[in-house]
Amino acid sequence: MSMRLALAACALASVAACAPLPNQRDRYTRFLTPTAEVSKVIATELAFARAAREDGQWTAFDEYAADGALIFGPNGAIEAKPWLRSQENPPEAVSWEPHRVWSSCDGSLAVTQGGFTDPDGSVGTFNTVWQRQRNGDYRYVFDFGFPQDEAPVAPDMISSAVAVCDAKVETGEPDSAIPLRVSRDGTLAWGFQSVGQGERHYVVWLAGEDGWEQVVNNALAPDAAQ
């Protein structure tokens, strides 16, 4: 009997020796928990713009589109890939650069906004919603832009904001008249809507310390092209 107790004690001691300490366990948990990757989103946006210049505008838009991605035009949202694959690349691509990035806490969803310049010299603002794929890469699920009389002012540095992971937000989506799509962790929401003959709306909400904050609210008149 004493031998069995001795063997049991040895076995328990071995298990205890192999078990991670509490602080080690916390560290491993942090590695396994999905997190925001703002720098990766920015790098993807910049690579997307470079591909448009080097490989062709519509070729790049097709390459960086997720399955089922939407392009929001004057006539509403259309599925990107079928339309893009029926287009020929223009001789010169539109150029753009990101100015701002917002990300969900878990990094499953991110939104970029910035300025673009068409080859004819017209300027405007673009908005892109990025979704992290199974392989860890980001691909856009929604994209649209609208022209402006003057180019949006480029900041000295790209600004970024990440949703508060334990934000005190009510269960479910923020209160919005526009139907919303929400990140996996429920900390970033976005939505779009077409109204009447070409009027378009696009909104983005981010979970903050005191609840939901609307960080983007674009309302475009019917005559806004792009």
pLDDT number for residue 42: 98
Rounded to whole angstroms, the Cα distance separating 141 from 135 reads: 16
Q: Output the pLDDT for position 168.
A: 65
Confidence label for 11 from pLDDT (cuts 50, 70 and 90): very low
Query: What is the percent of the chain with per-residue pLDDT over 70, rounded to a whole number?
Result: 81
Q: Is the pLDDT of residue 37 over 70?
A: yes
Q: Is the pLDDT of residue 61 over 90?
A: yes
Question: What's the rounded mean pLDDT across residues 128-135?
Answer: 98
Strands 159-162 and 95-103: parallel
pTM across the whole model = 0.83
Domain boundaries, the chain: 1-32, 35-220
Model confidence at 171, pLDDT cuts 50, 70, 90, reads: low
Confidence class for position 19, pLDDT limits 50, 70, 90: very low
Find out whether 197 and 136 touch, Cβ atoms under 8 Å.
no
Flag the least confident range among 15-24, 61-70, 137-146, 149-158. 15-24
Instruction: State mean pLDDT over 108-121.
Output: 98
User: For residue 29, what pLDDT is reported?
Assistant: 44
> 24 or 118: which carries more pLDDT confidence?
118
Per-residue confidence at 32, pLDDT binned at 50, 70, 90?
low
Domain covering 35-220 assigned CATH 3.10.450.50 in the classification = yes
pLDDT for position 224:
62
- Rounded to an integer, the average pLDDT of 147-173 is 86
CB-facing half-sphere around the CA of 71: CA atoms within 13 A: 17
Give the number of other Cβ atoms within 10 Å of residue 45's Cβ.
Answer: 24
From 28-42, 52-66, 76-90, 148-162, the region with the lowest mean pLDDT: 28-42
Model confidence at 146: pLDDT above 60: yes
Query: DSSP string of the chain?
Result: -HHHHHHHHHHHHHHHHHSPPHHHHHHHHHHHS----HHHHHHHHHHHHHHHHHH-HHHHHHHTEEEEEEEEETTEEEEHHHHHTTPPPPSS--EEEEEEEEE-TTSSEEEEEEEEE-TTS-EEEEEEEEEE-TTS-EEEEEEEEEEESSPPPPPSS-EEEE--TT----SSS---SS--EE-TTSSEEEEEEEETTTEEEEEEEEEETTEEEEEEEEEE-TT---
What would the pLDDT profile of 75-112 be if each residue is shown by its tens digit?
A: 899 999 999 999 999 999 999 999 999 999 999 999 99
Cβ within 8 Å of residue 13, ≥6 positions away: none
CA–CA separation, 190 vs 113, rounded Å?
A: 13
Is there a contact between 126 and 115 (Cβ–Cβ < 8 Å)? Answer: yes
Backbone torsions φ then ψ of 76, nearest 5 degrees: 110, -170
